[in-house]
Chain A
């Protein structure tokens, strides 16, 4: 098992630059998730690591080997595709063992490895079936089995759960987490679903338009996003944003206010702020609590009752639409006025360029 090193990886298709200089280190045994909106380049990055796309510039190291010009089969990787890509004319047994057969592995060793992978994934009873006779979840397991049997240094997953239904997605997600715990392998996982990213990852890499926005652990990205994009991407429902004006600047806090938000003192990095500056205030829907004299007042425009929580769409004074997630089942009427409060320490301020003014860690 080995780690990966990406040094200033770039990818251009003709004149279009898709990946604009990505630097990343993946430790041995880490579960790294590439996450981002559609078209951000995460699948392209994964395919470059796999060797299915050429690297225009930069260096890729798998283990300690420079792999830019190395064929996919020699890179010691295995890939699980979004559409499974099982060979439909072969049985599950032959599908899983295809790579070994090509490598001319002796029949008894091949048989042993296939059955071991089948045992890990609990699919021994499926070995004689063809892919057409399997359900979606079973096909995905066969695809994972095909990857396991190669005993690669790095596992690559390209949105493997996207084609599964919601319940199956949760189950298979847990299976993948368990697999990682059992095998201890380095895994790189691409998804646009940030719930998968948050639950599976040791480290998340947020990408947008071919540029790495932030790299960090899930909780780090949730609590301390470094820019507007990451703050708006991680966390469901999305973080609420409003434009505020700086009223006063203190050593480790900034006092802001706006038409919608009463004067509030937010702990932040105040080194560059001046009174009168326009900043963006971000507050997560889950951090808003109903309070009689709350700083944020709005009119309820939509109520979604989920049983354990209630999602409320608010229209603020300036017309901005905010979301609040309230605990329990709240019976609210549309058109009602609702006042919310939040712990100022949970708020994040962003400057004009979208960079977060986070309090430096001690």
Chain B
């Protein structure tokens, strides 16, 4: 099929638009991270006068008693534990929903949909957390993240588990597998593509989450990486070079997650299990 002129022009225009929207801001961030305070206040695309990257990095990490390091630890902990719990619980719920037909299925599905659609009310949630003595604690934050992201994960898993033939479960049962064996040894390994997608989506989302730690995890010791951005912004005095260095630093982990897991997403894992 010959590429017509219209499609070449259209394609080029699309690439140009994508470049402007996605790549240019990122280049701007990198450029700003190299500047000193005065030049960064200009907020333009001028080439940095000197190489200030290391100074900026040191300054950012040292601020407020090495808050950056605490923040990284907190964020990573919350992300890793939340995502692990999410994967395991969502897969379990999806498994039972897809396999067992009970009269509660409708109610459970309604609850999941409600969790997806209804925005969480912050003040009552804080009141609940305070009552449970979970407010301002890392494990409270983890539970919040799991609760907020569970509906999406369950729906994802349920749809995919429905594509795994029931005969595999039955063959495992006859081989002597108990329900947990069927789940962990047969079904979950086959869900690896879904699990990877879920890990990437959820960990980026939780790591980049600004508002939830702001509400439920106050305090310097509890800072997450997104909150450190406010170290460098105030009403009158913003150190743009430090701000953008901070942004650069906190962009790196999700980028690594994405690049690592991108290769793991493999389709068609059940090809060959069942004929036809």
Give the interface of A toward B (CB within 8 A). Answer: 50-52, 72-73, 77-79, 81, 83-89, 98-99, 102-103, 130-134, 136, 139, 146, 150, 163
**Which B residues touch A72, using CB under 8 A?**
173-174
Picked from B167, B185, B271, B276, the residue with its CB within 8 Å of the CB of A85 is B167
Q: Is the CB of B176 within 8 A of A85?
A: no
Classify chain B's interface size. Answer: 20 to 34
**Which residue of the partner chain A has the closest CB to B192?**
A89
- Cα-based distance from A86 to B190 in the complex (angstroms): 12
Q: In residues 155-180 of chain B, which contact A (Cβ within 8 Å)?
A: 165, 167-168, 170-177
Q: Is the CB of A102 within 8 A of B269?
A: no
Picked from B181, B192, B273, the residue with its CB within 8 Å of the CB of A86 is B273
A228, chain B: closest CB distance, angstroms: 35
Q: Is the CB of B175 within 8 A of A86?
A: no
**Which B residues touch A86, using CB under 8 A?**
171, 272-273
Picked from B170, B173, B190, the residue with its CB within 8 Å of the CB of A88 is B190
Give the interface of B toward A (CB within 8 A). Answer: 165, 167-168, 170-177, 181, 185-186, 189-190, 192, 269-276
**Which residue of the partner chain A has the closest CB to B274?**
A83
**Which residue of the partner chain B has the closest CB to A162?**
B275
**Which B residues touch A150, using CB under 8 A?**
175
Picked from A79, A84, A88, A103, the residue with its CB within 8 Å of the CB of B176 is A103
**Which residue of the partner chain A has the closest CB to B164?**
A88
List 17 extra interface pairs beyond A78-B174, A99-B175, A132-B273, CB under 8 A: A50-B174, A73-B177, A79-B171, A81-B170, A81-B171, A83-B275, A84-B273, A84-B274, A84-B275, A85-B171, A88-B273, A89-B269, A98-B172, A98-B177, A134-B272, A136-B275, A163-B275
Can you name 19 A-B residue pairings with CB atoms under 8 Å? A52-B173, A72-B173, A73-B176, A78-B174, A81-B171, A83-B167, A85-B168, A85-B170, A85-B171, A86-B272, A87-B168, A88-B190, A88-B270, A88-B271, A89-B269, A99-B174, A99-B176, A102-B181, A136-B275
**Which residue of the partner chain B has the closest CB to A147?**
B174
B102, chain A: closest CB distance, angstroms: 15
**Which residue of the partner chain B has the closest CB to A73?**
B176
**Which residue of the partner chain A has the closest CB to B273?**
A88
Total contacts A-B at CB 8 Å: 81
- Cα-based distance from A88 to B192 in the complex (angstroms): 12
- Cα-based distance from A102 to B178 in the complex (angstroms): 9
**Which B residues touch A134, using CB under 8 A?**
272
**Which A residues touch B168, using CB under 8 A?**
85, 87
Picked from A78, A85, A98, the residue with its CB within 8 Å of the CB of B273 is A85
**Which A residues touch B171, using CB under 8 A?**
79, 81, 85-87, 146
- Cα-based distance from A89 to B272 in the complex (angstroms): 9
Q: Is the CB of A87 within 8 A of B186?
A: yes
**Which A residues touch B190, using CB under 8 A?**
88-89
**Which B residues touch A88, using CB under 8 A?**
190, 269-273
- Cα-based distance from A136 to B186 in the complex (angstroms): 21
A300, chain B: closest CB distance, angstroms: 39
Q: Is the CB of A52 within 8 A of B272?
A: no
The answer to whether residues A87 and B273 also contact, given A79-B171, A81-B170, A98-B172 and a CB cut-off of 8 A, is: yes
- Cα-based distance from A133 to B273 in the complex (angstroms): 10
Q: 10 tightest A-B contacts by CB?
A: A132-B272, A99-B175, A88-B273, A73-B176, A85-B167, A85-B171, A131-B272, A83-B274, A163-B275, A102-B176
Q: Is the CB of B175 within 8 A of A130?
A: no
**Which A residues touch B177, using CB under 8 A?**
73, 98, 102
B144, chain A: closest CB distance, angstroms: 34
**Which residue of the partner chain B has the closest CB to A80?**
B171
**Which A residues touch B270, using CB under 8 A?**
88
A104, chain B: closest CB distance, angstroms: 10
**Which A residues touch B172, using CB under 8 A?**
87, 98
**Which residue of the partner chain A has the closest CB to B173?**
A72
Q: Is the CB of B189 within 8 A of A89?
A: yes
- Cα-based distance from A131 to B167 in the complex (angstroms): 15
- Cα-based distance from A146 to B272 in the complex (angstroms): 16
- Residue among B171, B174, B190 with the most chain A CB within 10 A? B174
**Which A residues touch B269, using CB under 8 A?**
88-89
**Which A residues touch B192, using CB under 8 A?**
89
Q: Is the CB of A139 within 8 A of B275?
A: yes
